[in-house]
Amino acid sequence: MLTDFYGLREHPFQMTPDARLFYPSTVHSRAYAHLTYGIAQREGFVVVTGEVGAGKTTLVDRLCSELDPVGFAVARISTTQVAGDDLLRLAAAAFGTEADGNKAAVLRGISAALRAGDRRFLLIVDEAQGLKIDALEELRMLSNVTEGGQAPMQTILLGQPQLRAMLASPDLEQLRQRVLASYHLGALSREETHAYVKHRMRAVGWQENPRWEDRALDLIHRHTDGLPRRINRLCSRVLLSGMLEKSDVLSASMVEATALELEEDLGPTMLRTARGGASADYDAALRDVQQRLATLERNAGQRERLFNRLAEIFFDGVRDRP
């Protein structure tokens, strides 16, 4: 419905990571360079950390889309709240080897798979901050497997910032020595937020309709802290508002109203300033909440019109069905 209204081939701001829409911002390009450097070394670990929604998964999806499927066997693990033995079984299953039996049998199966054939093995562990110390040690031990003087398996650890603190543990000194490249994925700048939004829209056939006001894109950055997943969520709702209002301009007031609706809908901590975070001064936070409530009251009429329009579209669609 939304894509048809604006003549787009598909939705530009889906929440599911999509390597086709990858935007090479400064931070994402640097992170990608660290990944490719690490892969070129043919051994050890590569670590990429970042806040929730910073684009870590999309980054690795882009990497995987460019790897030769003949030369690489790629396995991905996203469930990390597991002990070391269970992580080995997940790795075995991901690489297509026997995951049942005792630990020794599972290890033999993985080692045999790593030594067989000419392919290189890449294990990607997402949300790695949830791993226990013993699980990380099991991954380190797997990196000891060699064939012809080379390590057939490399591991990419993706995680939230606390993963960096975990890896600093004295218990993981040996693993740290095997980390060839490490990068923390930061947020997009204001200018890059502008470019990111337009890049994703052009990728699905955008022809400047609807037009984004510059001030609207400034507010997108302000309300999302420049984190891609938050940008996607807010832009998706702004596009919906634009469609419901039959508007060919996405304005600053539309972004502001939509951002406040999302805060109401998703229920984040209200005593938080847009820029101050959890450590913001209480009085400043209270003033911010009061200002937001006043804005909500001013936008009450607009919200009512939007919901009425959405109801009209829904019931028109029901009547038109055979």
Look at the chain and count its residues: 322
Axis-axis angle for helices 228-244, 300-320 (nearest 10) = 70
Q: For residue 190, is it within any domain?
A: no
Q: How many domains does the chain have?
A: 2
Higher per-residue confidence, 8 vs 320: 8
Q: For residue 21, is it within any domain?
A: no
**Is residue 44 left, alpha or beta, with left meaning phi > 0 and alpha meaning psi from -120 to 50?**
left
* Residues 228 and 128 reside in one and the same domain: no
Query: pTM here?
Result: 0.78
* Residues 36 and 178 reside in one and the same domain: yes
Least confident range from 41-55, 103-117, 150-164, 270-284: namely 270-284
Quickly state the pLDDT bin for 281 (edges 50, 70, 90): very low
Q: Which of 96-100, 236-240, 296-300 has the highest mean pLDDT?
A: 236-240
pLDDT of residue 280: 41
| Of residues 109, 167, 96, 178, the one with CA closest to residue 135 | 167
* Residues 140 and 204 reside in one and the same domain: no
102 has a pLDDT exceeding 90? no
The rounded distance, in Å, linking the Cα atoms of 148 and 99 is: 26
* Residues 174 and 203 reside in one and the same domain: no
For the chain, first and last CA: distance in Å? 18
Q: For residue 15, is it within any domain?
A: no
pLDDT cut 90: percent of the chain above it = 52
- List pLDDT tens digits, range 75-87: 898 866 778 888 8
Helices (H), ranges, 181-251: 190-202, 214-224, 228-244
293 has a pLDDT exceeding 80? no
The token pair at 160 is 């939230």
String of DSSP letters for 7-54: T-SS-TT-SS--GGG----HHHHHHHHHHHHHHHHTSSEEEEEE-TTS
* Residues 211 and 175 reside in one and the same domain: no
pLDDT of residue 237: 94
Q: For residue 18, is it within any domain?
A: no
The token pair at 24 is 């090479």
* Residues 231 and 310 reside in one and the same domain: yes
103 has a pLDDT exceeding 60? yes
In the predicted model, what is the mean pLDDT of residues 76-101?
83
In the predicted model, what is the mean pLDDT of residues 252-263?
92
pLDDT of residue 111: 86
Q: For residue 17, is it within any domain?
A: no
The rounded distance, in Å, linking the Cα atoms of 256 and 307 is: 17
Higher per-residue confidence, 275 vs 24: 24
Least confident range from 43-57, 120-134, 260-274: namely 260-274
* Residues 171 and 222 reside in one and the same domain: no
In the predicted model, what is the mean pLDDT of residues 191-209?
96
* Residues 141 and 206 reside in one and the same domain: no
- Structural domain range at position 291: 2-9+197-320
pLDDT of residue 66: 92
Could you tell me if 51 and 45 are in contact, meaning their C-beta atoms sit under 8 angstroms apart? no
317 has a pLDDT exceeding 70? no
In the predicted model, what is the mean pLDDT of residues 150-157?
89
* Residues 47 and 176 reside in one and the same domain: yes
Q: For residue 20, is it within any domain?
A: no
Could you tell me if 271 and 286 are in contact, meaning their C-beta atoms sit under 8 angstroms apart? yes
- At which of 185, 206, 238 does a domain end? 185
Q: For residue 106, is it within any domain?
A: yes
Q: Which long-range contacts (CB under 8 A, 24 or more apart) does 110-118 make?
A: 110/142, 110/145, 111/145, 114/142, 114/145, 114/147, 114/152, 114/153, 115/145, 115/147, 115/152, 118/71
- At which of 132, 155, 185 does a domain end? 185
Block residue for tokens 């997108």:
220
In the predicted model, what is the mean pLDDT of residues 165-175?
92
Look at residue 211 and give its three-state secondary structure: strand
In the predicted model, what is the mean pLDDT of residues 136-157?
85
Least confident range from 9-13, 126-130, 233-237, 273-277: namely 273-277
* Residues 231 and 176 reside in one and the same domain: no
Q: What's 85's domain CATH number? A: 3.40.50.300
The residues pairing with 121 across neighbouring beta strands, listed in sequence order, are 73, 153
Quickly state the pLDDT bin for 250 (edges 50, 70, 90): very high
- At which of 158, 185, 212 does a domain end? 185
Query: Which are the contacts of 184, defined by CB distance < 8 A and separation ≥ 6?
Result: 48, 49, 50, 161, 164
Quickly state the pLDDT bin for 220 (edges 50, 70, 90): very high
* Residues 80 and 150 reside in one and the same domain: yes
* Residues 69 and 105 reside in one and the same domain: yes
Average pLDDT, the chain: 83
